[in-house]
């Protein structure tokens, strides 16, 4: 048994616990709960971050357990999240406390929050100060609590850390640096960096310079967060907490700085952007910018939105994953998680679109795919809630039909109706009050002006209009190949025809999307979609009966007579054009100054590893988001976030290498390395 020094606590008339050691209250009895929610829970994007989490466990580290209020607030939200999502995620909450409350004092403090009595009682039943570590398991709700009764720096130093870090989220609580200077030291900040996963988030109530600088020096990207000031009048403590700090762990760059052509300089501050488009990409960008306070005008060439590649009746949402992690897989994993969050948030907010998130199965219908599936199962690179190998019987049980092949199951994937999604996202953007949509506006010309502005000419009917804009964003899909400003991008078009098939008793029970050489969707409005053809450099938008036959026969070759369909079961079909890139990754960001790239980076043709300080010369105010291929539903929301971050000079949601792999200037750099320029 060890000797643990307990806190000297008294309670004010309203029940607020007061610390004699630090001459401060633990929380305000009137506002403490809402403060903790704002400062720690909401600032760390809980519970939304759990929806995006791709690992089996989520780890939170807190400095200063105190009364346990932060833990109970988090526990309550985790329970609700589990009930709503049926997720298998587990939560491990690790907290440090140098001066823990006695059991009686803790019970008195927690009595202020009767709504958490069930969890408080379980915590108190296990609360014991006989050892330096206390572990409490809430097994029925997949939560474990570890309290380390020691100085925060020493306690965190005792944690064993796996290679990729341990902690997903930090609550830096405890008394302020003025009251408790011993806690807020360089050693603490170094330990936070040691145990953090890449992109771990952090929140703390204090905005003291010593904390901000300490976090930045060890690799955290720090920003201030303003809180609701409605209740701070006549309350000094609340006034002090009207701001807090949030941070994201990026790590410290090792070795030499990022080479110049991968660096995107900050741009001129913006208040307005004009988007050319009308599909999923433009809708996502409009919403992302509107949420950041940017006024947006969206110009669509058609009378209605979603008339191009976004017009198919049903589209699958799933990531492109390889047996081992690589650039493409990592991007689509991130894109998939971001897409799911957006679509589910829209549904939660009351926006309507047809959907089904009952999973997707990549069917291993031939020997080569069975071997591929075995590699997935052996390597176990990806978490099971993202993708897992399943048997033929499991495929039949999960899909609801007799597939009779094994497969790779993505339990959170699914399908949506793309036109309905586009309209829902656009309506959400309009509802912010920041977005205007103008239809039947065809882009005619783009001209660069000397003041870093762009003159665009559009046509509506017989009338042409000209407008000077600060930020011009081209979300133009297959039309990108017809825009002179995008001629330097190596884009191509691929025609795809999707056939809509009449449902029947044999296939009506299909619950998941099935992917083979093509795909087959569950029923929606009495229709299944199958396809699609892959016709390179074919711009014909007319439907062809021969392509419907091809789609039916392709399905039969791969999965047998699963749908029991003939050409007579085709209700209708639709051909649209995908815009593709040679490296199978989309393009997002400012367009490059090609001639200046050739001038500045010419030595790359002799030494591809030559390091440059000169940052990439880019065209101010001219942006592109295109090349989404057949995976726009899985990538557009993340790409929109990247573009919005660039326009607003904010942190990117991807790392520097991934950012370059998506940037428009990657192609000219690769050509220089290959001496093609």
Helices (H), 241-326: 280-291
Q: For residues 486 and 479, is the Cβ–Cβ distance under 8 A?
A: no
CA distances from 52 to 93, 197, 305, 666 (A): 18, 15, 29, 28
Share of the chain above pLDDT 90, in %: 74
Share of the chain above pLDDT 70, in %: 94
Instruction: Decide which of 418 and 207 is more confident.
Output: 418
Least confident of 182-186, 400-404, 499-503: 182-186
231: pLDDT strictly greater than 50: no
- Report how far apart the first and last C-alpha atoms of the chain are (Å, whole number): 73
Q: For residues 641 and 567, is the Cβ–Cβ distance under 8 A?
A: no
Instruction: Decide which of 20 and 511 is more confident.
Output: 511
The Cα 454–Cα 470 span in angstroms is 6
- The b/e string for 507-521 (b: 16+ C-beta within 10 A; e otherwise) is beebbbbbbbebbbb
- In 3D, which of 425, 419, 449 has the Cα closest to residue 437? 425
The Cα 567–Cα 552 span in angstroms is 8
Q: Which residues contact 79 (CB under 8 A, 6 or more apart)?
A: 141
* pLDDT grade for 261, boundaries at 50, 70 and 90: very high
Q: Name beta bridge partners: 622.
A: 472
Angle in degrees, CA 164, 167, 172, rounded to 5: 145
Angle in degrees, CA 116, 120, 123, rounded to 5: 145
What's the pLDDT score for residue 38?
Answer: 85
- In 3D, which of 132, 49, 118, 35 has the Cα closest to residue 89? 49
Quick one: average pLDDT of 223-229? Answer: 66
Q: For residues 241 and 231, is the Cβ–Cβ distance under 8 A?
A: no
Quick one: average pLDDT of 493-502? Answer: 97
Quick one: average pLDDT of 626-653? Answer: 94
What's the pLDDT score for residue 239?
Answer: 40
What's the pLDDT score for residue 26?
Answer: 67
The Cα 625–Cα 282 span in angstroms is 8
What's the pLDDT score for residue 162?
Answer: 82
- The b/e string for 137-169 (b: 16+ C-beta within 10 A; e otherwise) is ebeeebbbbbbbbbbbbebbeebeeeeebbbbb
Domains and CATH numbers, the chain: 31-249 (3.40.50.150), 492-580 (3.30.9.10)
Quick one: average pLDDT of 341-370? Answer: 96
- Which pLDDT tens digit goes with each residue over 68-112? 999 999 999 999 999 988 889 999 999 999 989 999 999 998 888
Instruction: Decide which of 152 and 31 is more confident.
Output: 152
What's the pLDDT score for residue 25?
Answer: 66
**Cα pseudo-dihedral 633, 637, 640, 644, rounded to 10:** 170
Instruction: Decide which of 675 and 95 is more confident.
Output: 95
Quick one: average pLDDT of 442-461? Answer: 95
Using left for φ > 0, alpha for ψ between -120 and 50, and beta otherwise, residue 64 falls in: left
Quick one: average pLDDT of 129-147? Answer: 93
Looking at residue 40, the DSSP 8-state letter turns out to be: I
The Cα 214–Cα 222 span in angstroms is 10
- In 3D, which of 438, 28, 509 has the Cα closest to residue 274? 438
292: pLDDT strictly greater than 70: yes
Mean pLDDT over each residue of the chain, to the nearest integer:
91
What's the pLDDT score for residue 232?
Answer: 40
- Number of other residues whose CB lies within 10 A of the CB of residue 131: 11
- Number of other residues whose CB lies within 10 A of the CB of residue 247: 24
What's the pLDDT score for residue 62?
Answer: 96
What's the pLDDT score for residue 351?
Answer: 97
Strand pairing of 570-580 and 492-502? antiparallel
217: pLDDT strictly greater than 50: yes
- Which pLDDT tens digit goes with each residue over 12-66? 776 677 776 766 766 665 555 777 888 889 999 898 899 878 889 999 999 989 8
Q: CB-hemisphere CA count at 13 Å for 5?
A: 6
| Max CA pair span of the chain | 88
Q: For residues 151 and 184, is the Cβ–Cβ distance under 8 A?
A: no
- In 3D, which of 288, 338, 312 has the Cα closest to residue 415? 312
The Cα 599–Cα 274 span in angstroms is 31
* pLDDT grade for 234, boundaries at 50, 70 and 90: very low
Quick one: average pLDDT of 578-603? Answer: 96
Instruction: Decide which of 225 and 203 is more confident.
Output: 203
The tokens of 357 are what? 């998130």
The tokens of 495 are what? 């025609």
């Amino acid at each position: 048994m060890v000797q643990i020094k307990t806190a000297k606590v008294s309670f004010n008339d309203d029940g607020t616990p007061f610390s004699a050691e630090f001459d401060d209250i633990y929380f305000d009895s009137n506002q403490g709960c809402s403060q903790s929610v704002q400062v720690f829970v909401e600032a760390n994007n809980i519970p939304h971050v759990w929806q995006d989490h791709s690992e089996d466990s989520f780890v939170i580290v807190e400095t200063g357990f105190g009364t346990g209020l932060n833990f109970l607030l988090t526990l309550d939200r985790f329970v609700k999240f589990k009930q709503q999502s049926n997720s298998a995620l587990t939560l491990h909450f690790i907290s440090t406390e140098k001066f823990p409350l006695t059991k009686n004092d803790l019970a008195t403090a927690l009595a202020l929050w009767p709504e958490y009595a069930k969890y408080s009682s379980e915590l108190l039943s296990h609360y014991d100060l006989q050892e330096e570590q206390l572990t409490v398991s809430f097994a029925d709700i997949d939560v474990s609590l570890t309290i380390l009764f020691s100085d925060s720096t020493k306690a965190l130093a005792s944690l064993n850390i796996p290679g990729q870090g341990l902690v997903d989220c930090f609550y830096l609580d405890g008394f302020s640096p003025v009251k408790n200077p011993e806690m807020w030291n360089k050693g603490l900040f170094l330990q936070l960096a040691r145990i953090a996963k890449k992109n771990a988030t952090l929140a703390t109530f204090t905005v003291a310079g010593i904390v901000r600088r300490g976090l930045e020096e060890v690799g955290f990207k720090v920003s201030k967060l303003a809180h609701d000031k409605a209740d701070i009048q006549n309350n000094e403590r609340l006034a002090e907490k009207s701001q807090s700090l949030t941070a994201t762990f990026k790590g410290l760059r090792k070795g030499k700085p990022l080479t110049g052509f991968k660096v995107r300089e900050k741009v001129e501050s913006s208040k307005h952007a004009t988007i050319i488009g009308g599909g999923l990409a433009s809708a996502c960008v409009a919403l992302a910018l509107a949420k950041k306070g940017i006024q947006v005008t969206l110009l669509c060439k058609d009378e209605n939105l979603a008339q191009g590649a976004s017009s198919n009746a049903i589209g699958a949402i799933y990531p492109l994953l390889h047996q081992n992690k690589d650039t493409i897989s990592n991007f689509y994993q991130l894109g998939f998680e971001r897409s799911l969050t957006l679509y589910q948030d829209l549904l939660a907010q009351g926006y309507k679109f047809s959907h089904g998130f009952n999973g997707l199965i990549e069917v291993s219908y031939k020997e080569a795919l069975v071997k591929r599936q075995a590699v997935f199962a052996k390597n176990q690179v990806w978490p099971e809630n993202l993708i897992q190998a399943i048997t033929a019987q499991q495929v039949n049980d999960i899909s609801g039909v007799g597939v009779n092949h094994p497969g790779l199951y993505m339990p959170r994937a699914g399908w949506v109706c793309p036109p309905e999604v586009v309209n829902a996202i656009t309506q959400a953007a309009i509802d912010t009050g920041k977005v205007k949509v103008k239809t039947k506006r065809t882009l005619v010309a783009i001209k660069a002006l000397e003041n870093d502005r762009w003159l665009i000419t559009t046509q509506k009917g017989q009338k042409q209009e000209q407008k000077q804009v600060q930020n011009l964003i081209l979300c133009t899909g297959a039309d990108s190949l017809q825009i002179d400003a995008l001629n330097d991008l190596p884009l191509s078009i691929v025609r795809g025809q999707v056939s809509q098939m009449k449902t029947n008793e044999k296939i009506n029970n299909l619950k998941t999307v099935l992917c083979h050489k093509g795909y087959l969707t569950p029923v929606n409005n009495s229709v299944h979609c199958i396809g699609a053809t892959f016709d390179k450099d074919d711009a014909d938008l007319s439907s062809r009966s021969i392509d419907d036959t091809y789609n039916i026969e392709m399905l039969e070759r791969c999965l047998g007579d699963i749908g029991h369909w003939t050409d007579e079961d085709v209700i209708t079909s639709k051909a649209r054009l995908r815009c593709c890139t040679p490296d199978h990754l989309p393009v997002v960001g400012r367009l490059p100054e090609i001639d200046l790239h050739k001038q500045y980076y010419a030595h790359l043709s002799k030494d591809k590893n030559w390091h440059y300080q000169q940052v990439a010369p880019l065209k101010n105010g001219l942006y592109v988001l295109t090349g989404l291929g057949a995976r726009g539903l899985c990538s557009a929301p993340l790409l929109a976030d990247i573009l919005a971050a660039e326009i607003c000079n904010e942190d990117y949601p991807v790392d520097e290498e991934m950012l370059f792999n998506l940037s428009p200037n990657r192609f000219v750099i690769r050509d220089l390395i290959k001496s093609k320029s």
